[in-house]
């Protein structure tokens, strides 16, 4: 394409080193759609004849079909998807095809193509995230009345509703939904018409191409447009934070599924066995999910590092931006293929969860708060109950089974109304503050979460409607 200025052919090694075809071929349809918008605009602006525009568009659509059927084999020597499609167009319709690239640089073309491609991908990722959140909300509904131990420092802390556990993870994923929709908004701008860096001397109509491609707005500054990749960073940031959430959820379930805890049940179809130990049922899927955070964090750091200190405007460093971005998108699709169906089949072994309560000490805070309600300052109550805890441990007595006489010997302020309060279920039910773990609160929380989810879904389906054909 630049043979005019060069006296030597490009070195073979350089062709291999500089090509981006292996990365960008997957965006072929998006690239064609961007070219169609451009060529329609050229005709609208009187820069080519209407018949020429129609011929180019028809040929581009034909190329799309060639790609679909597998009959088009792109060449790495043409560097990227953009050059491959353009040169195929010129092959097919000669001088007319050679008019397509007027007023356009690959710098704004690459940018347009990726944004077109990403909008569709992000909407698909949204479907995955929505499915994931829906499954978790349903689990929370199913388990709202199930009491399990809650932990801090992995030490038994207070009884909780398993629904509250699910909702804790749901809240994290709902924040991810917001981040995903913010990323979408950042992607949803039309860069076409910015040219190489400074716009064009030709009377291009950027608003026309924007509308044709269904973008919400055009970018503001031609130099900034071709130079930055913030919208990629937004996606990778969403993915990295999301990866952390997946990792944490996986780890929780792995721990509760472990032989020693053993109160979470995982479906056989989402576990694997051992080649030597016949008794094993391993949570490999969750472990792989836990590990994905490494790749997702790495991708973010990769892009942040790559884009720092690059002078304005376009520099070839930026070509590699798609490597970690596409790997991230593929990784997210993989996560969404296994995590929701796995979670849908997670269950609680209530009997085993109950064994965790056998020493009754998980109710110690309840006793301290009972004393507070009797007018005892919290610090004093804390100390009194602390002594009672020590006594229970030394005398091997479960705290929730102490007789009134035993209680009164330990803490004289205790009355007959304390012992009936001391069960894990009552304890869970009585934590009824806003956002607390009582089933009533959990159900209210679930209801609000469904609403939030549907607001996101409406927003995303509005975006979906704006996507043009061919993508
Ligand atoms: N293949 C390149 C990419 O994907 C296109 C580079 C276009 N611009 C340039 N000045 N070489 O980014």
pLDDT at 4 over 90: no
pLDDT at 415 over 90: yes
Q: How far is CA 106 from CA 34, 113, 180, 203, 377, in A?
A: 12, 10, 27, 18, 72
79 Cβ below 6 A of ligand 1? yes
- pLDDT per position as a tens digit, 222-234: 999 999 999 999 9
My answer on whether omega of the bond before 7 falls inside 30° of 0, hence cis, is no
Any bridge partners for residue 147, and if so which?
161
pLDDT at 430 over 80: yes
Q: How far is CA 391 from CA 92, 358, 366, 395, 421, in A?
A: 90, 16, 17, 6, 20
pLDDT at 126 over 90: yes
For ligand 1, pick from 106, 111, 324 the residue to mutate: most ligand atoms within 8 Å of CB.
Answer: 106
Residue 124 or residue 7, greater confidence:
124
Strands 217-218 and 189-190 come out as parallel
Q: What is the crossing angle of helices 378-394 and 364-373, to 10°?
A: 140
110 Cβ below 6 A of ligand 1? yes
As a whole number, mean pLDDT of residues 320-343 equals 97
- pLDDT per position as a tens digit, 37-91: 999 999 999 999 999 999 999 999 999 999 999 999 999 999 999 999 999 999 9
Tokens standing for 58? 């028809």
Atom 4 of ligand 1, residue of closest alpha carbon? 319
H-helix or E-strand spanning residue 55: helix 50-69
Selection from 212, 171, 180, 118 nearest residue 459 by Cα: 180
Atom nearest to 24 CA in ligand 1 = 4
314 Cβ below 6 A of ligand 1? yes
Atom 7 of ligand 1, residue of closest alpha carbon? 106
Give the whole-number percent of the chain exceeding pLDDT 90.
97
pLDDT at 356 over 90: no
Give the whole-number percent of the chain exceeding pLDDT 70.
100
106 Cβ below 6 A of ligand 1? yes
pLDDT at 3 over 90: no
Strands 264-265 and 347-348 come out as antiparallel
CA 111 – ligand 1 centroid, Å:
10
CA 36 – ligand 1 centroid, Å:
20
Per-residue model confidence (pLDDT) at position 2: 74
Tokens standing for 99? 């008019």
CA 107 – ligand 1 centroid, Å:
6
CA distance 63 to 352: 62
Strands 155-161 and 147-152 come out as antiparallel
- pLDDT per position as a tens digit, 252-308: 999 999 999 999 999 999 999 999 999 999 999 999 999 999 999 999 999 999 999
Per-residue model confidence (pLDDT) at position 366: 98
Per-residue model confidence (pLDDT) at position 471: 86
Atom nearest to 20 CA in ligand 1 = 1
As annotated, the active-site residues are 153, 274
Q: How far is CA 219 from CA 162, 199, 283, 437, in A?
A: 47, 12, 47, 46
Selection from 245, 236, 227, 242 nearest residue 304 by Cα: 236
As a whole number, mean pLDDT of residues 429-448 equals 98
């Amino acid at each position: 394409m630049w043979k005019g200025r060069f006296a030597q052919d490009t070195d073979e090694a350089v062709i291999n080193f500089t090509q981006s075809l292996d990365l960008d071929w997957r965006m072929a349809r998006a690239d064609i759609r961007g070219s169609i918008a451009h060529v329609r605009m050229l005709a609208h602006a009187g820069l080519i004849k209407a018949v020429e525009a129609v011929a180019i568009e028809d040929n581009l659509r034909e190329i799309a079909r060639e790609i679909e059927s597998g009959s088009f084999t792109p060449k790495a020597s043409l560097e990227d998807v953009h050059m491959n499609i353009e040169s195929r167009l010129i092959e097919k319709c000669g001088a007319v095809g050679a008019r397509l690239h007027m007023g356009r640089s690959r710098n704004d073309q690459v940018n347009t193509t990726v944004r077109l491609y990403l909008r569709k991908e992000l909407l698909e990722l949204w479907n995955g995230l929505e499915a994931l959140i829906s499954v978790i909300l349903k689990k929370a509904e199913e388990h709202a009345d199930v009491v399990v131990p809650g932990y801090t420092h992995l030490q038994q802390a207070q009884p909780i509703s398993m629904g509250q556990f699910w909702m804790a993870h749901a809240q994290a994923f709902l924040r991810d939904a917001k981040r995903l929709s913010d990323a979408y908004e950042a992607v949803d701008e039309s860069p076409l018409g910015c040219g190489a860096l400074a716009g064009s001397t030709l009377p291009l109509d950027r608003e026309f191409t924007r509308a044709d491609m269904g973008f919400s707005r055009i970018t503001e500054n031609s130099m900034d447009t071709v130079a930055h990749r913030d919208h990629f960073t937004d996606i990778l940031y969403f993915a990295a934070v999301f990866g952390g959430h997946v990792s944490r959820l996986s780890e929780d379930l792995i721990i509760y599924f472990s032989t020693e805890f053993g109160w979470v049940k995982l479906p056989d179809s989402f576990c694997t066995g051992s080649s030597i130990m016949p008794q094993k049922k391993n949570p490999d899927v969750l472990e792989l999910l836990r590990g994905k955070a490494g790749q997702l964090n790495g991708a973010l750091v990769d892009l942040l590092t790559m884009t720092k200190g690059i002078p304005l405007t376009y520099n070839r460093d930026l070509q590699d931006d798609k490597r970690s971005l596409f790997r991230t998108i593929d990784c997210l699709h993989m996560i969404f293929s296994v995590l929701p169906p796995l979670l849908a089949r997670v269950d609680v072994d209530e009997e085993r969860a109950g064994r965790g309560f056998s020493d009754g000490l998980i109710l110690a805070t309840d006793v301290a708060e009972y004393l507070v309600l009797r007018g005892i300052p919290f610090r004093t109550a804390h100390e009194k109950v602390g002594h009672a805890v020590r006594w229970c441990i030394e005398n091997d007595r479960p705290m929730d089974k102490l007789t009134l006489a035993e209680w009164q010997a330990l803490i004289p302020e205790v009355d007959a109304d304390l012992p009936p309060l001391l069960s894990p279920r009552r304890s869970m039910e009585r934590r009824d503050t806003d956002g607390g773990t009582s089933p009533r609160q959990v159900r209210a929380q679930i209801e609000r979460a469904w609403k939030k989810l549907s607001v996101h879904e409406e927003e995303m389906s509005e975006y979906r409607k704006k996507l043009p054909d061919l993508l």
